[in-house]
Amino acid sequence: MTTPVYLDNNATTRCDEAVVEAMLPFFTEQFGNPSSMHAFGARVGGAVKAARAQLQRLIGAEFDHEIVFTAGGTESDNMAILSALEIDPNRDEIITSAVEHPAVLSLCGHLEKTRGIKVHVIPVDGQGLLDIAAYRAALSSKTAIVSIMWANNETGTIFPVAELAELAKEVGALFHTDAVQAVGKVPIDLKSTVIDMLSLSGHKLHGPKGIGALYVRRGTRFRSLIKGGHQERGRRAGTENTPGIVGLGKAAELAALHMADEETRVAALRDRLEKGLLQRIPACFVTGNPAERLPNTSNIAFEYIEGEGILLLMNREGIAASSGSACTSGSLEPSHVLRAMNIPYTAAHGAIRFSFSRDNTDADVDRVLEVMPGIIEKLRALSPFWQGADKAPATFAPVYA
């Protein structure tokens, strides 16, 4: 059995050993509740404060109290949007993009259905770039909040959030960004922007699962989602997940240390894989915007075959990645991100996302380059559309469509 190759780091990352080590004492000897008056609590309170400072440095926040710890990215996204809708009754519209994570899109759909909130969904072009004219047109004095992701989880495409935030400020709207995929992979300096809120998640940057944070700029009006105790200055009630918080702090510190590696070595691995696959395999293409992209992500659409089959064959070779196909999610439609980019169905179903991390090596790339051509060829031999690399696809029009 060959060593497994993990290239699904946008789904989740391996928790760093140093992170686990930092967390462990907070399950046992450092068990105190940070709210308590006694020494048991005080020491833990100090550790939470240190973690907050570590995270503050990673995202370039001006103040440590701008960070509110949550249970993860989804909670942070929900918190930001629901808070914004409570601020001003005259502002009851949301602006978001067609390629957001379900944590945002599904909430917006729900609000539209149950509360009659007007949601402007800004389309993207074939490369996944936001339609800025449509965005400008949607902004108004009715806009409560703009929620647009920093980087897309499927294609890695980066949106110009700093500029988008400036535009939102012109109409007095709040600006939130889901930066779950960006934090730890690209440098972020919030104090030099006008972004009001930012969501992040621990397990995407080699931290533990079940912990995340919402950055809330000082002075931003905020209504808490979870009511209860005074934790997180009344912005997120519930006894702190202290091991998780300490772990996220440590993960943030390590991410800052590895940032240069991520942007050079990891990006080079990704580029070598992408180039190699495009050279070796006919009829495939990169989706998204290669010019403005996370350094770790590559999304390649292999035409005329379906993603689940590719993943199953890759899995048999010990390689983990993910797909935009409908079948892997149990839904009937392929990825909403690829569909928003107008990628044809025959390609969208065969899109595979390779997402790297600092754990990956050159050997991983070699291994994938070695087995992928055979896997694609095997499935294409089964496909009614495929007639060979030099031939046009077969005209295949099934009875119902």
Nearer to another protein, 27 or 396 (CB): 396
Concerning whether 284 is annotated as a catalytic residue, the answer is no
Residues 371-400 touching another protein, rule: CB under 8 A, are 381-385, 396-400
Taking CB under 8 A as the rule, does residue 1 contact another protein?
no
**Matching residue, tokens 């077969």:** 394
Nearer to another protein, 76 or 383 (CB): 383
Query: 304, 337, 355, 357: which one contacts another protein (CB under 8 A)?
Result: 304
Nearer to another protein, 37 or 401 (CB): 401
Query: 1, 133, 332, 392: which one contacts another protein (CB under 8 A)?
Result: 332
Nearer to another protein, 263 or 317 (CB): 317
- For residues 143 and 149, give the distance between their C-alpha atoms in angstroms, rounded to a whole number: 17
Q: Which two tokens stand for residue 170?
A: 């012109």
**Total residue count of the chain as it appears in this document:** 401
Taking CB under 8 A as the rule, does residue 305 contact another protein?
yes
Query: 331, 362, 388, 389: which one contacts another protein (CB under 8 A)?
Result: 331
Helix (H, G, I), strand (E, B) or coil at 310: helix
**Matching residue, tokens 């550790």:** 47
Taking CB under 8 A as the rule, does residue 104 contact another protein?
no
Taking CB under 8 A as the rule, does residue 325 contact another protein?
yes
Near another protein by CB under 8 A, which window of 18-26, 177-185, 271-279, 301-309? 301-309
Residues 333-352 touching another protein, rule: CB under 8 A, are 333-334, 345-346, 349
User: Which of left, alpha, beta for 122 (phi over 0: left; psi -120 to 50: alpha)?
Assistant: beta
Taking CB under 8 A as the rule, does residue 40 contact another protein?
no
* Cβ neighbours around 35 below 10 Å, total: 13
- For residues 172 and 352, give the distance between their C-alpha atoms in angstroms, rounded to a whole number: 40
Taking CB under 8 A as the rule, does residue 196 contact another protein?
no
Query: 87, 98, 327, 369: which one contacts another protein (CB under 8 A)?
Result: 327
Nearer to another protein, 154 or 306 (CB): 306
- For residues 100 and 209, give the distance between their C-alpha atoms in angstroms, rounded to a whole number: 21
Query: 14, 57, 191, 316: which one contacts another protein (CB under 8 A)?
Result: 316
Query: 326, 351, 365, 375: which one contacts another protein (CB under 8 A)?
Result: 326
Q: Which residues contact 308 (CB under 8 A, 6 or more apart)?
A: 323, 325, 327, 328
Q: What is the largest CA-CA distance in the chain?
A: 76
The count of residues interacting with another protein (CB under 8 A) is 33
- For residues 13 and 151, give the distance between their C-alpha atoms in angstroms, rounded to a whole number: 17
- For residues 236 and 238, give the distance between their C-alpha atoms in angstroms, rounded to a whole number: 7
* Cβ neighbours around 376 below 10 Å, total: 26
> With helix as H, strand as E and coil as C, how does 141-190 read?
CCEEEEECCCECCCCCEECCHHHHHHHHHHCCCEEEEECCCCECCECCCH
Q: Which two tokens stand for residue 210?
A: 């079940």
Taking CB under 8 A as the rule, does residue 42 contact another protein?
no
Shortest distance in whole angstroms from residue 72 CB to another protein: 22
Shortest distance in whole angstroms from residue 125 CB to another protein: 21
Near another protein by CB under 8 A, which window of 95-103, 142-150, 195-203, 298-306? 298-306
Near another protein by CB under 8 A, which window of 61-69, 134-142, 174-182, 319-327? 319-327
- For residues 211 and 209, give the distance between their C-alpha atoms in angstroms, rounded to a whole number: 6
Taking CB under 8 A as the rule, does residue 313 contact another protein?
yes
Taking CB under 8 A as the rule, does residue 37 contact another protein?
no
Catalytic residue among 15, 108, 284, 327: 327
Shortest distance in whole angstroms from residue 346 CB to another protein: 6
Query: 306, 319, 367, 368: which one contacts another protein (CB under 8 A)?
Result: 306
Taking CB under 8 A as the rule, does residue 6 contact another protein?
no
Considering only CA atoms, which of 230, 244, 236 is closest in space to residue 201?
Answer: 244
**Matching residue, tokens 């060959």:** 2
Shortest distance in whole angstroms from residue 333 CB to another protein: 7
Q: Which two tokens stand for residue 350?
A: 């065969």
Determine what percent of the chain falls in helix, strand and coil, rounding each to the nearest 5. 40, 15, 40
- For residues 373 and 6, give the distance between their C-alpha atoms in angstroms, rounded to a whole number: 18
Contact positions vs another protein (CB under 8 A): 304-309, 312-313, 315-316, 325-328, 330-334, 345-346, 349, 381-385, 396-401
The residues that are catalytic are: 327
